[in-house]
């Protein structure tokens, strides 16, 4: 029964993106790119490529994905979307470097309209703490961050729509492990509520956080049975 309710939103994007080149397929691919480009950019940078070449290669990878229909090789029932993307970009780096450089020079191919998005990559990468993480671990770290960010953005949007945006901002730390040192009684007074009501609100927010995170992860795996494994993976990556 649960399988019939398995969310398909993110996979629907994949389905549209792997069709013939149309405005709809390019739009779907751009959406996927916006969501997942930075983990791949960080992976390429950690592989030793400089900022300009990493930008060229990352953009070239997504453009190549559109033109060569890489997504047709992805079958949801066969595995995790993060594994598919990582394997695909590794293959691309091994075999398509010349193509990526030609694409950047204007080789007659259809570019994605995301130049500005890609240009933010190095600014983000420059803020990375120095570490000995492998390129694969860097990818996993930012894949996890992307899922958490998407979850928090969904919760914030819902809170804003309900008129609870200020409360969400004050309580967000209870979801990210950065709990405020302000006593419940003081925080409740600041928010114009009681301490008991505040504790209930935090409990409900944590529960909703788990539900939305579950949904986000469900879009990237091939079967509901894999979700708990992915949550364990996510937890281990974030705690590193």
Quick one: what percent of the chain has pLDDT higher than 90?
Answer: 29
Cβ proximity of 229 and 142 under 8 Å: no
Q: What is the mean pLDDT of the chain?
A: 78
Question: What residue segments make up the domains of the chain, in order of their start?
Answer: 1-128, 133-240
Each residue's pLDDT tens digit, 70-91: 666 665 545 687 888 898 899 8
- pLDDT-derived band at 139 (thresholds 50, 70, 90) equals very high
- pLDDT-derived band at 101 (thresholds 50, 70, 90) equals low
**Nearest CA-CA partner of 227 in 238, 205, 212, 239:** 212
Q: Per mean pLDDT, which range of 10-19, 41-50, 125-134, 229-238 is the poorest? A: 10-19
Q: Measured at the alpha carbon of residue 144, what is the angle toward residues 138 and 150, in degrees to the nearest 5?
A: 135
Please give the pLDDT value at position 108: 42
Q: Is the pLDDT of residue 56 over 50?
A: yes
Cβ proximity of 152 and 175 under 8 Å: yes
Each residue's pLDDT tens digit, 191-211: 999 999 999 999 999 999 999
Q: Is the pLDDT of residue 219 over 60?
A: yes
């Amino acid at each position: 029964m649960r399988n019939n309710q398995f969310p398909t939103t993110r996979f629907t994007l994949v389905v549209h993106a792997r069709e013939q080149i149309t405005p709809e397929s390019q739009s779907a691919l751009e959406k996927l790119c916006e969501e997942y480009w930075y983990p791949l950019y960080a992976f390429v940078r950690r592989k030793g490529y400089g900022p300009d070449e990493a930008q060229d290669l990352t953009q070239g990878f997504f453009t190549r994905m559109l033109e060569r229909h890489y997504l047709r090789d992805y079958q949801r029932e066969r595995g995790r979307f993060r594994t598919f993307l990582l394997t695909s970009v590794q293959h691309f780096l091994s075999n398509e470097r010349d193509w990526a450089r030609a694409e950047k020079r204007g080789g007659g191919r259809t570019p994605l309209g995301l130049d500005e998005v890609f240009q933010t990559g190095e600014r983000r990468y420059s803020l990375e703490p120095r570490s000995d993480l492998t390129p694969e671990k860097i990818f996993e770290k930012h894949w996890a961050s992307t899922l958490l960010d998407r979850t928090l953005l969904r919760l914030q949007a819902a809170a804003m729509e309900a008129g609870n945006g200020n409360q969400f901002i004050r309580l967000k730390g209870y979801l990210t492990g950065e709990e405020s040192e302000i006593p419940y009684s003081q925080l409740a007074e600041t928010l114009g509520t009681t301490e008991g009501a505040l504790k209930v609100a935090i409990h409900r927010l944590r529960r909703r956080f788990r539900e939305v995170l579950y949904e986000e992860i469900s879009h990237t795996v091939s079967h509901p049975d894999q979700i708990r494994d992915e949550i364990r993976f996510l937890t281990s990556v974030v705690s590193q």
